[in-house]
A and B are shown apart, each in its own frame.
Chain A
Amino acid sequence: MRNIFAFIAGGIFGAGLFVSGMVDTAKVIGWLDIFGAWDPTLAFVLGGAIIPTFFAWRIAERRQRAFLDCPIPERPQPVIGRNLVIGSFMFGLGWGMIGLCPGPSVASITFNGVGGLIFVAAMIAGMLVAPAIRTRLEAASAS
């Protein structure tokens, strides 16, 4: 059951990324290009995505448990650490370079050519080395 619903959720997510234009790197770069020809489409995408999810969180936090009888993820400690800030900034730099982030990179993998595969391979390599970088950052801030 869990796997079936995970497949459905992934499929709807993919359909949303496809319909909204998030798989088009030109649209993403256009949205981040506030000093150029700014394209506001992605504000509608993010806004549209936040509205149903906002209500889903209200229901989830009232019910405490999901329909497949597992706990709702706990709210993380509201700590703004170095990793959150540095990591998000690094992610943004990479995102703005070519206009791909993790969700759309998977959603477009079947029609994004060799370039799409190279990006996903590099992203996976980055995810492999990330724990070591995290340890170094923590050691550097502790000393």
Chain B
Amino acid sequence: MSITWQTDWTLGLIGGLLIGLAASLFLLVNGRIMGASGIIGGLVDGSGRHNAAERVSFLLGLAIVPGLMALLWYRPDTHLTKNVALLVGAGLLVGIGTRLANGCTSGHGVCGISRLSLRGIVATVFYLVGGGISVIVFRHVLGVV
């Protein structure tokens, strides 16, 4: 076990606590569940038109703060694939899947599990299984990522 691993874990925990703090704030102050796919999806399909300003404000904070951190602190290497077919395929699956399931990693994973919601726990199990299968196929079998 190297020192970098322990640093990663510590940063992971600190970052996780910040994510939890954000979810707690949004819940206790705004009375809303912090689910990224739901906040975006409601704007995309019009189902969240009545509180569009709140959604846009959230997404602006979500994009601007890490953008400033990248500018002023360090620019992280995101190791994103350059394969356009993969980017499009993955984007479509994530968009369709999260809207069918009504949630993603933040909504079902963070907010659902912490509420001890059966739906959140089941969703998390299925997207982790899906993710694991994808990594096996695309990294180990096809070797494209």
A→B interface (CB under 8 Å): 2-27, 29, 32-36, 39-57, 59-60, 63, 65-68, 70-73, 75-76, 78-80, 83-103, 105-113, 115-116, 118-131, 133-134, 137
- The 4 lowest CB-CB distance pairs between A and B, nearest first, are A126-B95, A92-B130, A48-B16, A20-B15
Interface centre among A23, A53, A79 (most CB of B within 10 A): A53
Other contacts beyond A3-B54, A41-B8, A95-B127: 4, CB < 8 A? A21-B15, A49-B16, A60-B28, A83-B101
Contact B11 A56 (CB under 8 A): no
- A8 CA to B18 CA, complexed, in Å: 12
Interface of A, helix, strand, loop or mixed by DSSP: helix
State whether A17 and B15 are in contact (beta carbons under 8 Å apart), knowing that A32-B131, A94-B89, A134-B99 are contacts in the complex. Answer: yes
- A17 CA to B104 CA, complexed, in Å: 14
- A47 CA to B16 CA, complexed, in Å: 7
Considering the complex, which residues of chain B in the window 4-63 have a beta carbon less than 8 Å from any beta carbon of chain A? 8-34, 36-37, 40-41, 44-45, 51, 53-55, 57-63
Contact A16 B134 (CB under 8 A): no
- A109 CA to B65 CA, complexed, in Å: 11
- B125, chain A: closest CB distance, angstroms: 8
Taking a contact as CB atoms closer than 8 A, the residue among B12, B63, B81, B128 that contacts A92 in the complex is: B128
Contact A115 B87 (CB under 8 A): yes
Contact A134 B110 (CB under 8 A): no
- Residue B84, interface by CB 8 Å: yes
Taking a contact as CB atoms closer than 8 A, the residue among A13, A25, A65, A88 that contacts B61 in the complex is: A13
- A47 CA to B67 CA, complexed, in Å: 25
- Residue B78, interface by CB 8 Å: yes
- A114, chain B: closest CB distance, angstroms: 9
For A49, what are the chain B residues with a Cβ–Cβ distance below 8 Å?
A: 16-17, 19-20, 23, 109-110, 114
Closest to B44 in A: A127
Contact A97 B104 (CB under 8 A): no
